[in-house]
């Protein structure tokens, strides 16, 4: 990655009303990831820490490819499956993240997702949800069986359909987005999106100030709105993108069974 392409970032996390914090994160250029563990406090905390740890050796790397992310997810899943757990309480974790990389001299955001943690992009006053939740409620929304209003009160809205380590297979999705000079990326656990609307999130991203100030403000707002779950937020600003070529070559055609937001299609989906 060219030295001209840099990031400024901030991170904040809080336990909320839970007894412990099962979220883990890594915020160290060019890698910014959040994991939300499941399977009970100790199991979830260990699972999220394992998958984040697998990404730690990418810190400071100049070139990162999709295969690098898939390899670390696969290794993390194997380690999580090997953990001892009571019957029916297997450990697992969501994972969402953004990596700043470059291809052909152009900067791009490499976005990965498994589960219901999310990545958003804020640019020119518009908030865009890049990732698509892998959850029971999202599937019902996509099929038209639930309306967005009904989804808010759906009793199983926190049930995920994909996770790292909790299922026999891991199916991460990946996006490649051209990086723009006004991009502000947000990576978060569902402790944020379960409390705040997209409109409230955008307002704080636009008005709170620096990435650290924005991260702090988002977590505090989630706590003020109930703080029912652990909440972790990473905010990343891109710098040095003004003269960059915005064309990013795609890797593959998107799979027919994916459900992208707006015009954003995942460029790769792996079964590990």
Three-point CA angle 132, 208, 14, nearest 5°: 65
Among 84, 72, 78, which residue's Cα sits nearest to residue 39? 84
pTM of the model: 0.88
Q: What is the pLDDT of residue 153?
A: 80
Whether the CB-CB separation of 185 and 98 falls below 8 Å is answered with yes
The pLDDT, as a whole number, for residue 264 is 53
- CA–CA distance, 18 with 41 (Å, rounded to integer): 9
- Identify any residues that bridge with 25 across adjacent strands, giving them in sequence order: 34
Report the pLDDT value the prediction gives residue 271, as an integer from 0 to 100.
66
Determine the pLDDT at residue 266: 62
pLDDT at position 155: 78
Instruction: Report the SS3 class of residue 1.
Output: coil
pLDDT at 262: 39
Question: What is the residue extent of each domain of the chain?
Answer: 6-19+94-261
Angstrom distance (rounded) from CA 248 to CA 151 = 35
Chain centroid to Cα 54, Å, comes to: 15
Residue 197 has a pLDDT of: 94
Which pLDDT does position 233 carry in this prediction? 99
- Counting other chains too, the contacts that 244-248 makes at CB distance below 8 Å and 24 or more residues apart are 244/5, 244/105, 244/106, 244/107, 244/178, 244/179, 245/104, 245/105, 245/106, 246/106, 246/178, 246/179, 246/180, 247/104, 247/106, 247/178, 248/103, 248/106, 248/108, 248/176, 248/177, 248/178
- Check if the beta carbon of residue 53 is closer than 8 Å to that of residue 28: no
Answer CATH for 6-19+94-261 from 3.40.50.1580, 3.40.50.2000, 3.20.20.80, 3.60.40.10: 3.60.40.10
Give, for 201, the enclosing helix (H) or strand (E).
helix 198-207
Q: What DSSP letter does each residue of 133-149 carry, written as one string?
A: --BHHHHHHHHTSS-HH
Q: What is the pLDDT of residue 4?
A: 63
- Please state at what angle helix 41-54 crosses helix 66-81, rounded to 10 degrees: 150
Query: What is d(CA 30, CA 1) in angstroms, rounded to the nearest whole number?
Result: 9
Per-residue pLDDT of the chain (272 residues; tens, 9 = 90+): 545 678 999 999 999 999 899 999 999 999 999 999 998 767 899 999 999 999 999 999 988 999 999 999 999 999 999 988 665 567 899 999 999 998 888 899 999 999 999 999 999 999 999 999 999 989 898 898 998 888 888 878 788 999 999 888 888 999 999 998 889 999 999 999 999 999 999 999 999 999 999 999 999 999 999 999 999 999 999 887 665 444 443 333 333 332 334 345 566 566 66
Query: What is the reported pLDDT for 30?
Result: 95
Which pLDDT score, from 0 to 100, does residue 5 have?
Answer: 76
pLDDT of amino acid 251:
37
């Amino acid at each position: 990655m060219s030295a001209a392409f840099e990031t400024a970032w901030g991170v904040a996390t809080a336990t909320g009303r839970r007894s412990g914090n099962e979220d883990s994160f890594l915020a160290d250029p060019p890698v910014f990831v959040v994991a939300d563990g499941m399977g009970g406090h100790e199991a979830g905390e260990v699972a999220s820490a394992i998958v984040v740890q697998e990404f730690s050796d990418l810190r400071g790397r100049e070139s990162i490819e999709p295969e690098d992310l898939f390899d670390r997810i696969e290794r993390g899943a194997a380690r999580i499956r090997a953990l001892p757990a009571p019957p029916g309480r297997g450990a697992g974790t969501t994972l969402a993240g953004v990596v700043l990389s470059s291809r052909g001299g152009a900067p791009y955001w490499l976005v990965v997702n498994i589960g219901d943690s999310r990545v958003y992009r804020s640019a020119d006053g518009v908030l865009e949800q890049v990732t698509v939740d892998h959850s029971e409620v999202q599937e019902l929304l996509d099929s038209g069986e639930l309306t967005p209003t009904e989804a808010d009160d759906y009793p199983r809205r926190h049930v995920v359909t994909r996770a790292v380590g909790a299922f026999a297979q891991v199916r991460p999705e990946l996006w490649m987005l051209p990086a723009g000079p006004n991009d502000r990326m947000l990576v978060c656990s569902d402790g944020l999106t379960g409390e705040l609307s997209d409109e409230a999130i955008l307002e704080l991203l636009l008005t709170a100030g620096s990435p650290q100030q924005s991260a702090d403000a988002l977590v505090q707002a989630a706590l003020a709105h109930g703080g029912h779950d652990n909440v972790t937020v990473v905010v990343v600003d891109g710098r040095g993108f003004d003269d960059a070529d915005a064309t990013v070559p795609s890797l593959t055609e998107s799979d027919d069974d994916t459900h992208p937001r707006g015009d954003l299609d995942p460029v790769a989906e792996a079964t590990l």
